[in-house]
Amino acid sequence: MRPLPDNDLSLRDASDFIFESALGRRALLNPNPASLAVFLRDVITSIHRLTVSCHLPEFTDHGLHHLCSLVDRVSRWSSPRNQQLCNVVDGLDPTECAVLLLAILFHDIGMLSQRPEDLPQEQAQWDSMGLRDVPNWVRATHIPRMQPLVRRLLEENPLSGLLNDPTVLRAFCVAQSHGSWPWQWTRSHFQGRDAGLAAMLAVADLLDEDSNRCDTVTLLRHRLGSHHNCAHWIRHGLTHGRVLVEAGEIHVELRRPPDSDAQMESVYKALRNHYRLSRLYLQELGQVNAGILNISFSPASGCPTEVGLELSDWSRLQGFGTQSALAFHLLNSFMPEALMDASRVETSILSRLQSNSLETIDLQDFHRIRGGVELHSYDEQSFFALLGQP
């Protein structure tokens, strides 16, 4: 398997990597539609142009490097050894591979654009939100803007008619599903084993949390961004190496920022929970023989002893000057389900999470700093986090 391209990969390198992957090669064995290869190349080119023109440098990578990482992770995903087919992709037919590959390319394209006109009409009230907080608006709306954005980018393309091809429509449906949980999916929208493909995309995206996702050193030293985005940069540095699914096993090695101690334990509980959210897709993964038997961590509990040196500049970030502020902003970057936050997650879902081995986290200080039901302003939260008290 070729190594992943570096962060400065060119369009040609990314295209070659995707076409030579196991997923790409199988999708083109018997292409459906017949012009799939040309269409894929045009989609990749459009993503590259968006990446070059994107004016949100504070985000972690959502461009071609991230997409190559997901294509690679899916291509290398191997089933539990008691199953006949070792490589999951080998058990998919070419059309299923085309659906999954297109869905991977589509799923985060909205993170590379800031055009409110791509929102569906019924969500037009979100337009003004972008004027107040562009980065969080982009993140919150990137899924509903996905399909209209792809259609706008390719509307003058000679192959624009393929946007209504059944394979491409299936890919849109699979891609949109990565923003919700399996029990929220509308099953009638899926064809065949597409729910399994959607689960593979969602889990591959969850696992793309590691330090290869972004150049943390450059981000910490040279780029500005909201506390939320800065926390995401640091989070990617907490996982060492790439996280893959090998023979149904997932292993995660964790590291800690320099000058941090047991006060960070709640962060590592949340991070382990983040990876354990993969368990929520087990039923759907079973449809495509992509089972996950076990998720293990080093260390299995507590805080890591190994230090991630590239995180040494964390305390220089505005609003991150103390370990209590670091822990707060990191916790604030996780989804409520990973935090097991009873104030924001329904009781029935909490029970589902507990049954999948997610850890309970003491969020008392976190809630005090956020302000409880009536949230403090971002400036107040940062001030109280730096002090370590409300």
Residue ranges of the domains in the chain?
A: 1-185
State how far the Cα of 105 lies from the Cα of 142, in Å rounded to an integer. Answer: 13
- What is the reported pLDDT for 130? 44
Q: Are 257 and 315 in contact (CB under 8 A)?
A: no
Q: Which residues pair with 252 in a beta bridge?
A: 297
Question: Tokens 């079973």 appear where?
Answer: 286
Question: Tokens 């018997």 appear where?
Answer: 30
DSSP 33: S
Question: Tokens 């003058």 appear where?
Answer: 156
Structure tokens, 145: 């803007």
State how far the Cα of 60 lies from the Cα of 50, in Å rounded to an integer. Answer: 15
Closest by CA position to 200, among listed 118, 120, 92: 92
State how far the Cα of 181 lies from the Cα of 167, in Å rounded to an integer. Answer: 23
Structure tokens, 267: 């962060």
Neighbours of 345 (CB within 10 A): 17
**Which residues, 6+ apart, have CB-to-CB distance to 34 below 8 Å?**
none
* pLDDT tens over the chain, length 390 residues: 556 655 455 788 889 999 999 999 999 999 999 999 999 999 999 988 887 766 555 555 567 888 999 999 999 999 887 666 589 999 999 999 999 999 999 988 888 777 777 777 655 555 544 445 666 777 778 888 889 889 999 988 989 889 999 999 999 999 999 889 999 998 778 999 999 999 999 999 999 988 776 777 777 777 777 788 889 889 999 999 899 999 999 999 999 999 999 999 999 999 999 999 999 999 999 999 998 989 999 999 999 999 998 899 999 888 899 999 999 999 999 999 999 999 999 999 999 999 999 999 999 999 998 887 788 887 788 888 888 754
- What is the reported pLDDT for 137? 75
**Residue 249 phi, psi (nearest 5):** -110, 140
CA distances from 260 to 232, 270, 298 (A): 17, 16, 17
- For residue 83, which amino acid is it? Q
Q: Which residues pair with 295 in a beta bridge?
A: 250
State how far the Cα of 62 lies from the Cα of 205, in Å rounded to an integer. Answer: 11
State how far the Cα of 192 lies from the Cα of 183, in Å rounded to an integer. Answer: 17
State how far the Cα of 164 lies from the Cα of 277, in Å rounded to an integer. Answer: 33
Task: Give CA angle at 12 (9, 16), nearest 5°.
Answer: 100
Q: Are 87 and 246 in contact (CB under 8 A)?
A: no
Q: Are 18 and 67 in contact (CB under 8 A)?
A: yes
- For residue 300, which amino acid is it? A
**Which residues, 6+ apart, have CB-to-CB distance to 349 below 8 Å?**
181, 337
- Strand ranges for the chain from DSSP E: 239-240, 245-246, 249-254, 294-298
